[in-house]
Amino acid sequence: MINNEFYEFLLKVHSIAKIGQVYSRDPYAIANYKEINDLTRDMLENFVNVKFNRPSMFSRDIYPTPNVSVRTVIFNELGQVLLVREKVDGGYSLPGGWCDLYESPSEAAIKECLQEAGADVKIVRLLGILNRTPFKGPLNVPEYMIAFKGEIKGPFVEIGFETTDARFFDIDKLPPICPKVKVEEVLKMINAAQTGMVMFD
């Protein structure tokens, strides 16, 4: 009988290894991620008696679908919006990122707010789902973005390694927005959080 918890653990570690191989810039880390990838692949193949050269959730030779990301709009008592500065390009964006395996969208949003902004938040409302593909280059993976409204639960903690700053800004005085997230997208999400509008494409 398959131990579902162990199977999910292996899949999670396998997915982390694949992410590390894509985004790491350290050659030693990449080598380690590849080794973990190969080890967990072999364990998964033995565990479920299935070879991973068949179509799977880690390959795009099955029916292709968009990736899923999350963003969260958070206001303070002055009506300012919380933005984080991306380390990679110095631009600001709403806290958010890709959903990981076995995370619900709201769990992913809460995790990203803590990692990128040092903010302990609760999700209070779904703002909508946006098709980000028209805003991306032709070589980028198609993406659906799930937007939430969040509220601060407790004091801020130290931010993670992907960002260099997190602060509240007046909505009419936003800083330069990072290239991967367009200004019109940010303003659309802020407006939805202010007005109660539900966004969809």
73 and 44 fall within a common domain:
no
Q: Give me the number of domains the chain comprises.
A: 2
72 and 44 fall within a common domain:
no
189 and 161 fall within a common domain:
yes
72 and 121 fall within a common domain:
yes
Contacts of 15 (CB under 8 A, 6+ apart): 58, 100, 101
Question: How much is the pLDDT for 61?
Answer: 47
- The Cα 199–Cα 186 span in angstroms is 12
Q: What's the CATH number where 110 sits?
A: 3.90.79.10
pLDDT at 201 over 90: no
Q: DSSP string covering 33-71, please?
A: HHHHHHHHHHHHHHHHT--TTS--TT-SSSS---EEEEE
Beta-strand relationship, 67-74 and 143-152: parallel
147 and 73 fall within a common domain:
yes
Give the pLDDT confidence of 156-183 residue by residue, as tens digits.
Answer: 999 988 899 999 999 999 999 998 888 9
Give the pLDDT confidence of 19-73 residue by residue, as tens digits.
Answer: 888 778 888 888 888 888 888 888 877 766 655 554 455 554 445 678 899 999 9
Question: How much is the pLDDT for 15?
Answer: 81
- The Cα 123–Cα 167 span in angstroms is 19
83 and 21 fall within a common domain:
no
144 and 98 fall within a common domain:
yes
Here the tokens at position 108 are: 């992913």
**Domain range enclosing 158:** 67-200
pLDDT at 84 over 60: yes
Q: Which residues pair with 165 in a beta bridge?
A: 85
123 and 78 fall within a common domain:
yes
Residue 73 near residue 81, CB atoms below 8 Å = yes
Overall average pLDDT of the 11-17 stretch: 82
Please tell me the pTM assigned to this model: 0.73
